[in-house]
Amino acid sequence: MNYRQECKVPHALFNSKALFNPYQYEPFFKILKWNEEELKYQANNKNLLITDEVGVGKTFEVGIILMELLINNPNLSVAIICPVKLCENWEKELRDNFYLYPRNLHKTHVRGQITIIPYTHLKSGNIEDINSYDILILDEAHYIRNKNNYWNGVSSLIEKKENENAIRIFMTGTPIFNKEEDYKNITELLEKNNKSFEITNTLQSEANCYDNILDIKIGMKDESNYFDNNGSIKLSTEEIEVINCIESGNYGNLTGFLKRYSASSFNSLKKFIQKYNDKKYDEEEDEEIDALKNIEDIDNDKELENNVNLSELKAKLEKLQDKDSKLAALKALLEKLKINSTNNNFKIIVFSCFINTCKYLEDELKGEYNVYCITGETNTEKVEEYKDTFKNEDNPAVLICSDAAKEGHNLQFCQYLIHYDLPFSPAVIGQRNGRIYRKGQKNNPKVYYLPMEKGYDKRLLGEIIAEKCSIIREASKSLNISRVNILPNDSDDYLNECIEKFIDDYFMDKQNKDKNSTPCDIAKRFLKKYFFRRSTNNNIVEEKWILEEAENYYSQCDNSDISKNYIKTKIKEIYLSALKNKDTGLSDIYKENYDKKIEACTNEWFKNEDSISFKNCCEKYVGYSKNNNYCFDLMDKEDVDIRQYKENFKPLKEWENNGV
């Protein structure tokens, strides 16, 4: 009997360096099925959306699928579309782990059977020169969440007659960046040509349940010289005066940007004011302005206020001199982590939204640590050089990154990551965290937020982050996609403060704008804005409440004489209920599910009742050849059994981690 008749093992299991993890075979079984007559896996005519959380290993999941399809049909052509900065990563991952040799169009300008194409190639309109393909892979599919040039380019490719039956695999850990419409725009392209699609939505805590789980904290509560009881950074009187000046000043639509920069770094705020006065902005800041316009409900086509008088704010900044409480708090945190670290070669990553802040931190820390800085201004060669040098550092080292480095960099050799400031989207925070919270992390990964006790941070956490998290979480229930969990583990008191301040500000703002509004009027507007969704699907308007508590109170709230404080307290309770997202007690459940998936895979792959060892699989299925496979060092280990992961399968995990 042909060995394939008794062993339905996917080809990648013993012919790649991909360590067996049952969750990484979930996408495989979504679009491939076993053909008993031909004794091979075949595509089931469905497309696939992989929404697994950042760090689960989506590139490996696609590599496993490609190996199977290409071993059964060596003539298949593949197009992989991804951001420019990920082109080399795809080339390396497929070559080193799956022995597939794609052509990097961005680097060589040459196409091959497997071609890696940057999104920028689509934006430039070079669609006609892309060959037909049998498999289309779209990495970081959130790049097409808006119907932009990238979306139009991918749509045109799909609509080509020769591509209408091709398999489409879209990958993104953040299918909803800000709103549910993001998801609908992505899936519209998966459904073109009357195709259906499957979804996978594995969480990090599920896939790596036997590994360490991410720990998220706000500051250091036990360092009272720098942090308050909630973990937020204590500020000097002069720094608070700067924040008060911004919050009470009249800066037109420039106000939001001043608040945002002040929450990052007062030093960087000084530089921005100087550039504003000189009418000079760099590209990174322009992108931040666009993001702020969305937050502040400012028309994107409207220019920022000209000739705003910033002299008072500038004078208060000058009074700070060299005082920087946030920088001092960062240094204290770094020192404590270094002392407590079990690693001799202490390494840590620090993220900031702004290039100016990154440069400032680089200058301030380089006397105490070996410092490397990666921003949108760093060329590709330098990025790889800095990463390699940082990884191999023998001395304490810090890698400072702007959000240009939030994707495509595997830094799981680091245990610690600090958000010096927070971006607008929980999806971006999740992507940042995914640099260290991913497959291969050997330590307990820890992430720290550094909000200040006063200023924009409370609005950011109380409104933008938390409200968007509730949207993503609600959509994950109805759409079966992976959710983003970026809220700190032990900071309920601080989050309560953030939400309370946000609600107080909301009521005050609405009352000032309309003196005739009652508290109930304002409460209803609040509930409708944050917990009610209206969308259009096939020209049909769909309306729904995303939280039952909000719907119930909306129907009960009227204009009777109810105190404002009571209503605000009720609103706060509803808001907090939307944020509850604790994974307490799930670890054991994840492990139980993991073991069940192991058993399900092996029952599917091996027909006979006897325990089949790795040695037997290697000998019968792939042959005993050190040149062709990577299980040869287990040939003499009769006790290594794929059916029993925790004890007997563990040697393979150690074997891979040792870099074999």
Q: What is the CATH number of the domain that holds 158?
A: 3.40.50.10810
End-of-domain residue from the set 290, 320, 350: 320
Are residues 458 and 504 in contact, defined by beta-carbon separation less than 8 angstroms? no
End-of-domain residue from the set 320, 350, 376: 320
The DSSP call for residue 227 is B
The first and second tokens of residue 219, run together, are: 């500051």
Are residues 124 and 108 in contact, defined by beta-carbon separation less than 8 angstroms? no
Same domain, 244 and 225: no
List residues bridging with 50 in a β-sheet. 171, 200
362/371 Cα distance (integer angstroms): 6
Same domain, 148 and 14: yes
The first and second tokens of residue 186, run together, are: 């992505």
Are residues 237 and 308 in contact, defined by beta-carbon separation less than 8 angstroms? no
Same domain, 531 and 634: no
Residues 6+ apart with CB under 8 A from 607: 5, 6, 7, 8
End-of-domain residue from the set 320, 355, 375: 320
How many domains are there within the chain?
5
The alpha helices in 321-399, defined as continuous H runs, are 325-340, 355-365, 380-391
- Whose tokens are 């608070």? That residue is 240
Range of the domain at 572: 456-483+488-579
129/344 Cα distance (integer angstroms): 52
The DSSP call for residue 462 is I
Same domain, 262 and 361: no
Same domain, 370 and 414: yes
This prediction has a pTM of: 0.71
CATH code for position 419: 3.40.50.300
Same domain, 408 and 501: no
Q: What are phi and psi of 320, to 5 degrees?
A: -65, -30
Same domain, 83 and 228: no
Same domain, 116 and 153: yes
The alpha helices in 254-379, defined as continuous H runs, are 255-264, 266-277, 283-295, 311-320, 325-340, 355-365
Q: Is 499 helix (H, G, I), strand (E, B) or coil?
A: helix
- Whose tokens are 């790795």? That residue is 614
Are residues 598 and 645 in contact, defined by beta-carbon separation less than 8 angstroms? yes
Interhelix angle 466-479/492-513, rounded to 10 degrees, is: 100
561 CA to centre of own chain: 46
Q: Is 226 helix (H, G, I), strand (E, B) or coil?
A: coil
The first and second tokens of residue 195, run together, are: 């195709």
Same domain, 314 and 338: no
Find the angle CA(326)-CA(232)-CA(571) to the nearest 5 degrees.
135
pLDDT beneath 50: ranges in the chain: 1-2, 282-285, 287, 290-302, 581-584, 608-615, 618, 621-660
Q: What are phi and psi of 413, to 5 degrees?
A: -75, -10
285/355 Cα distance (integer angstroms): 8
The alpha carbon dihedral of 372, 376, 377, 378 has a sign of positive
Residue type, position 514, single letter:
D
Are residues 481 and 201 in contact, defined by beta-carbon separation less than 8 angstroms? yes
What are the pLDDT digits (tens) for 586-633? 567 777 777 778 777 767 776 544 444 444 554 554 443 433 333 433
Same domain, 69 and 183: yes
The first and second tokens of residue 564, run together, are: 């404002």
The alpha carbon dihedral of 86, 177, 450, 339 has a sign of negative
254/303 Cα distance (integer angstroms): 10
Residues 6+ apart with CB under 8 A from 590: 205, 206, 209
Are residues 397 and 370 in contact, defined by beta-carbon separation less than 8 angstroms? yes
Which of 318, 327, 340, 421 lies closest to 367, judged by CA?
327
Buried b (16+ CB within 10 A) or exposed e, 565-593: eebbebbbebbbebbeeeeeeeeeebeee
265/362 Cα distance (integer angstroms): 13
Same domain, 186 and 113: yes
Are residues 376 and 283 in contact, defined by beta-carbon separation less than 8 angstroms? yes
List residues bridging with 419 in a β-sheet. 351, 449
Same domain, 372 and 435: yes
Which of 383, 382, 450 lies closest to 410, judged by CA?
383
Which of 337, 358, 366 lies closest to 447, judged by CA?
337
The DSSP call for residue 634 is G
Which of 531, 521, 514 lies closest to 567, judged by CA?
521
CA distances from 2 to 34, 620, 636 (A): 15, 10, 24
- Whose tokens are 């899936």? That residue is 187
